[in-house]
Structure 1
């Protein structure tokens, strides 16, 4: 059922509809006419309120669960509210600081993305999700820098300026000349290739005995590539944090819906396919309930926004997933702010695939 324009409702119906939606989003419970009659902005008798509620229900905007005489918004009603009535509240200074602080923690990009989904989950009381960049950057060089105590720092630099670091163990007595020889060899063969292409090419060359490397340098080359090869294989398409938040006290009366949502989240490829729909959006996208087939049974909602690399290309999507009673007014700008923070990281070359 298509949502009708908000202008089709008279002022009395709009106000009662707004109060029902806001009451439901705040409590997760249907809102009754008695509660509406006590609102300062409603100057109507209980009978008149019930008549308006009936009209709104007839339009498909509200529903009356069989366990309660109160009303709650339908998916169509929530869409009307989100698109035509909602007044967003910008993230607080504490919320912005919490997001930026987690993103600023040192470590590989996967760690920053996991921290992003975790902080969104904590702030939203829903599940935080981040789709990992899938683009493989073209590489420029890989340097092995001695750290002492049997360790070296492997520094991988991409053509777009992205830099990633890993610490690798060194065999006892590894000479500095072997580190330099391995660095020169890797840089010469990585340049202009993706990591996957370079691993295949170098593996074939070493396997055929054409590398002209001594045993120590060959071992370092293999160690330097192995750490990123393992990362690439373990790198998930989607990072999800905070599923436990979906099991709050309001879920006890609707365990089947929550179980269905948790099953949906286990199928990360399907969730990633849904988030793909937000990749081309210029702003934050909101998917409500049965609007999307994946969440038709669980009655869930998704707020998602794309983030970009230094060339302005979309490389992933960040968002939250939870029940349709999410606090949209608070979470939409929070997700948007998080996507912008990730895009700022991308602008500095810190999002490489």
Structure 2
């Protein structure tokens, strides 16, 4: 009876596999979950198109992860790169670590968040008085090995966006106060969403997101009715709806887990790498991030389709997501819809 009450207290999440349309956004999220080194995804689109619902749904879909018990940084029990300094010392001294399994963390960053809330704070008074480093973890610590979601990222203060992107790129967060320094792992899939009508991100910040997905309001009346009906059914009886969706959800869970396992063995031919770089060069993409992310995304897509060799089609399906926001453009233009990227892809890959 107590368990039933606890279940009822947990807010049900709309199932990922039941979300109609928005294939581009769904694919970008799945690929980032398979390979977080892709660098996150920026989702721009109209209001009320299910951005937040989809992001929460992908987090709910993921298999549980093993963490060190009572560790505020979700430290991995055997991977040193994903351990806090304290856990690393215990691990290297061959002491045993008690572990537990938790759901993949899904952390929301509110627009009004301060730097201390994001990065964490050091208790200077205690450090000076007792000589003990006391650290109050922030959202970057809680998001380690999970997903950090920033709604309306285009309205977030620039210095907070810089901190976020630095942590996402390096995988570490460093807090320094009065000569005292604390460093902890902070590896997460960064997901930002926003409405282009409320302003674009600075190009140099936009470039730091691995992928950019565009979503539009569904125009087809039949599909709109389907979406409304599905949502009504879910709201009426969430547990029943989740049960009906469980087969499809479990299939996708297995598919993602399998893709994560075979990803390290996925290969991409040298000729295809050259053609990817040729596309980036033809599009006049600054830097090499576009080349790197496209290679990673193509590998993740191949793994998602249970293949160990990347094909031209894998690149076609992912290259627009990786490059559309890196194109040089007139300040008055909106981000290219992808036609330009696909056109150059067809020319280069023939």
TM surpasses 0.5: no
What is the TM-score normalised by the length of structure 1?
0.22
Q: TM-score, normalised by structure 2?
A: 0.22
